[in-house]
Amino acid sequence: MTQSRIPTLDIRRFDTDRDAFVAELGAAYREWGFAGIRGHGISDEQIAGAYDAFQRFFALPEEVKRKYHVPGGGGARGYTPFGVETAKGAQHFDLKEFWHVGREIARDSRHADVMPPNLWPEEVADFREKAYGLYTALDQLGSRVLSALALHIGLPENYFADKTDSGNSILRPIHYPPITTPDVPNVRAGAHEDINLITLLVGASAEGLEVLSRKGEWVPFTADADTIVVNIGDMLQRLTNHVYPSTTHRVVNPPGEKARQPRYSTPFFLHPNPDFLIDVLPSCVTPDNPSRYPEPITAQGYLEERLREIKLK
Ligand SMILES: O=C(O)CCC(=O)C(=O)O
Ligand SMILES: [Fe+2]
């Protein structure tokens, strides 16, 4: 059955009505690569508190924010100024600035060389606590979504657990400033696919996000305030041999006066451990769908390739 709307599901059903929930969630992702997740248990207060800290950071003067930009760091940690990231194949940079929070790991971890320490803005005293609290909450929610996605394709519920427990995941608070010049050729976020396994987008309640349907139509997806948008990224698409599609999406500039409103959103890009080998799952290879990627690649190797394409490296 094809659905004309991107479905929203209540993840509490994973505990109370598992088989039906897994089937519905799996069908939604096969069709759209996107779904809304309700009943996720992350409180309004926690989300609003984090956004409040993010907004206070973005309101700082440009020269203060630039203290936290790491030249040559690929934007992996700290601040990436307006005018840098450019969607793959796009001519014009995106109309956004953002901050990246990574996982806190022991500095003697085997992943330490590719997972640098976080930076924290000293001007916003509660930034660290608020941002890392949200990071942890979204990491846990993402693991539950991955469990359901694993069950749907015949894998054990905990399949992803030891492949993501030191995942190189990123929380990305984004600020899209007011657009004051009419007819800019740039857009807030050019059409792209996410690189990682899955993305959880919290607070994308302001309009602008659009998802490309299988029919080739742009479908606006403006989630309710209590809904977290979760989509498939390229790594999971590759691992599942496109059973779960990584769907193209973009953030368009609002029409007329609405363009003068800023937009804030915060995706959490859930990545596998850097040394996870992305090798097509045998259960996702069939006569109708032969393996599209005979060569495996590590998550870190794949990430570096992709960051060069979007001009972050
Ligand atoms: O701002 C949004 O709603 C989406 C952002 C996005 O797609 C991204 O940063 O990858
Ligand atoms: Fe995205």
Reported confidence tier of residue 1, pLDDT bands at 50, 70, 90: very low
What are the residue ranges spanned by the domains of the chain? 21-309
Cα–Cα nearest to 137, from 17, 60, 43: 43
Ligand 1 pocket member 267 (CB < 6 A): yes
What's the length of the chain? 313
pLDDT tens sequence across 261-303: 999 999 999 999 999 999 999 999 999 999 999 999 999 999 9
Cα 137 to Cα 132, 224, 236, 250: the distances in Å are 9, 19, 21, 25
Cα–Cα nearest to 77, from 106, 103, 111: 103
Instruction: State the Cα–Cα distance between residues 158 and 137, nearest whole angstrom.
Output: 18
Query: Are the C-beta atoms of residues 307 and 82 closer than 8 Å to each other?
Result: no
Report percent pLDDT > 90 for the chain.
83
Pocket test for ligand 1, best of 86, 192, 201 (most atoms within 8 A of CB): 201
Ligand 1 pocket member 189 (CB < 6 A): yes
Tell me what pLDDT residue 205 has. 61
pLDDT tens sequence across 222-251: 888 899 999 999 999 999 999 999 999 999
Q: Return the ligand 1 atom nearest residue 229 CA.
A: 3
Question: What SS3 state is found at 291?
Answer: coil
Ligand 1 pocket member 174 (CB < 6 A): yes
Cα 25 off chain centre by:
18
Q: Return the ligand 1 atom nearest residue 172 CA.
A: 9
Q: Among all chains, which residue has been given the structure tokens 């930009």?
A: 69
pLDDT of 143 > 60? The answer is yes
ipTM over 0.95: yes
Q: Which residues are near ligand 2, the ion (C-beta closer than 5 Å)?
A: 194
Mean pLDDT of 115-136: 98
Domain boundaries 21-309, corresponding CATH code: 2.60.120.330
Question: What SS3 state is found at 80?
Answer: strand
